[in-house]
Chain A
Amino acid sequence: MNEPLIDIKNISAGYNGSKIIENINLTVFENDFLGIIGPNGGGKSTLLKVIIGLLKPDKGEVILKRKLKFGYLPQINLNDIRFPITVKNVILSGLAAEKKIFQRFNKNDHKKAYEIMEEFGLAEYSNSPFGELSGGQIQRTFLSRAIISDPDVLFLDEPTAFTDKGFSKNLYKILLEKNKNTTIVMVSHDTGVISSYVKNIACINRTLHYHSGNEITTEILDKYVCPVEIITHGTLPHRVLMMHKDKK
């Protein structure tokens, strides 16, 4: 087992006093590919925000074992996207942490942005207004922004919510390649896909159940009433999991 990279201890958090997650303990390991699954409103995104530092927990702490560079793909709200900015500038904004104040982006930064746009099929939209992209293109742009800085840890919140199946496959190929030297934490509904790619699984529904390894067992599903989307067609590797009864 790799060294622990992030220790999450006794975290409780929520918005405006309501508790969404409670007493969460979780360890993210170096080079981990951790899948976080759970029902809607179960606290997946909330947990991610606490780890990244966007949401202050009511209780508990997140301990980073060393200084870490984060990349983050947020859940996308298409209504929010109308700001006049070009696709290339959105991607370059992922390098903002490395730039001093007054410092402009250099040739190298632009080159990096172009390479990523090529990889994600965005090259022809480089100077297009971000607000005119399709959902899938927006998601790919945000993903480009998340990885352009070569982060130590990549947090992905529903990375395939808008992508077509063709790109999803491509995406997982890219992620597996990235995972060689990047730790990945991915939130997804898509448990079928999760169990094919990830190394460890955490299921969260207010509280958290950690499962070392990538098998989703009936025990996990039963205990946490996780919704399962099982993909049984296409060329994606998949596992067919047992059905489980809904718990009232």
Chain B
Amino acid sequence: MIEILSYTFFQKAILTAFLASISCGIIGSYVVSKRIVFISDGITHASFGGIGLGYFLGLNPIMTAMIFGILSAFGIRFISSKGNIREDSTIGIFLALGMAVGIIFIYLTPGYAPDLSSYLFGNILTVTSNDIVFSSVITLISSAGIILFYKEILFVAFDEQYAKIMKLKVEFINYSMIALVALVVVVNIRIAGVILIISLLTIPQTTALLISKRFNMIIILSIIIGLISSIAGLYLSFYLNIPSGASIVFSEAMIFMTVKLVYLSKRG
């Protein structure tokens, strides 16, 4: 149990999981509370276009995916704010288009695309030092953001209209938060992949919502639940020799069901 901690790859994985629990815990609480899960998932899939572009241009796919993620987040918000096209339809279009662009670029890139499956399904054991640097920076930004702007973020998320009357910078906060969603999702893509990453922003938070109905408590609980499930998932993945992304998601779901059952039995 302890000896695998001496492997560098495992240490890196634990560090990555720790950072991800914090960034996903914070931003995911916002996503779930504000009910923007679908737009967040749309951004994730759209950022796959950036991964393809990164391969094609020989750049770090995470970098290009960040740009794609932010641009599609703003694109979805901007187009649906015009009022002609509904937001869910806009998300559906961006989601599919991003994936399509990614597939085209990867197809056009000569040779075999290494690590492709780690971007699709995640493999926390392949994280590089570069990935950890990106993840640390984004975790720092998310933590500082929520601590410094807690009341602004809370009030804008709760009631935009009243926040406007209170002269809060509603648009600025909305766009900053959706950009942060894109960044958090992309830097953590290596953990669970484009397909599963949304779970890190939703399952611990939904579990936390069963326990508390206070925004700050939900953030703290999500971080703890995220941490426990990613470490459990890592061990599961190591000992059962199964993909880490899937085993982390599985652990999260197990914790969710356990908590749900406890609450159901309490109610009698």
Binding site for B on A (CB under 8 A): 16, 52-54, 70, 72, 74, 82-86, 89-90, 93-94, 96-97, 99, 101-102, 104-105, 129, 131-132, 145
Contacts and interface: CB of A to CB of B under 8 A. Distances in A.
B73 interface: no
Nearest to A102: B148
Nearest to B149: A101
A87 to B, nearest CB: 11
A102 B151 CA distance: 8
A84 B165 contact: no
A93 B165 contact: no
A16 B34 CA distance: 25
A94 B161 CA distance: 12
Given A83-B34, A84-B209, A96-B155, A52 B165 contact: yes
B162 interface: yes
B214 A84 contact: yes
B155 A93 contact: yes
Interface of B: 33-35, 83, 148-149, 151-152, 154-155, 157-159, 161-168, 209, 212-215, 218
A96 B163 contact: yes
Contacts of B35: 82
A89 B152 CA distance: 12
A155 to B, nearest CB: 9
Q: Which of A54, A84, A105, A129 has the most CB of B within 10 A?
A: A84
Given A84-B215, A99-B151, A132-B213, A54 B166 contact: no
A54 B161 CA distance: 7
A210 B112 CA distance: 76
Contact of B162 (A53, A89, A104, A145): A145
Contacts, number: 67
A85 B215 contact: yes
A233 to B, nearest CB: 35
B87 to A, nearest CB: 15
Contacts of B159: 93
A102 B218 CA distance: 21
Contact of A96 (B34, B168, B212, B215): B168
B162 A83 contact: no
A93 B218 contact: no
Given A96-B166, A97-B166, A131-B213, A104 B151 contact: yes
Contacts of B154: 85, 89, 93
A145 B213 CA distance: 20
Contacts of A85: 154, 158, 213-215
Given A96-B151, A101-B149, A101-B152, A83 B165 contact: no
Contact of A54 (B164, B212, B213): B164
A107 B71 CA distance: 42
Contacts of B149: 101
Given A84-B209, A84-B215, A54 B158 contact: no
A84 B213 CA distance: 5
A84 B212 contact: yes
A146 to B, nearest CB: 9
Nearest to A131: B213
A102 to B, nearest CB: 6
Contacts of B168: 96-97
Contact of B165 (A54, A89, A105): A54
Contacts of A94: 162, 166
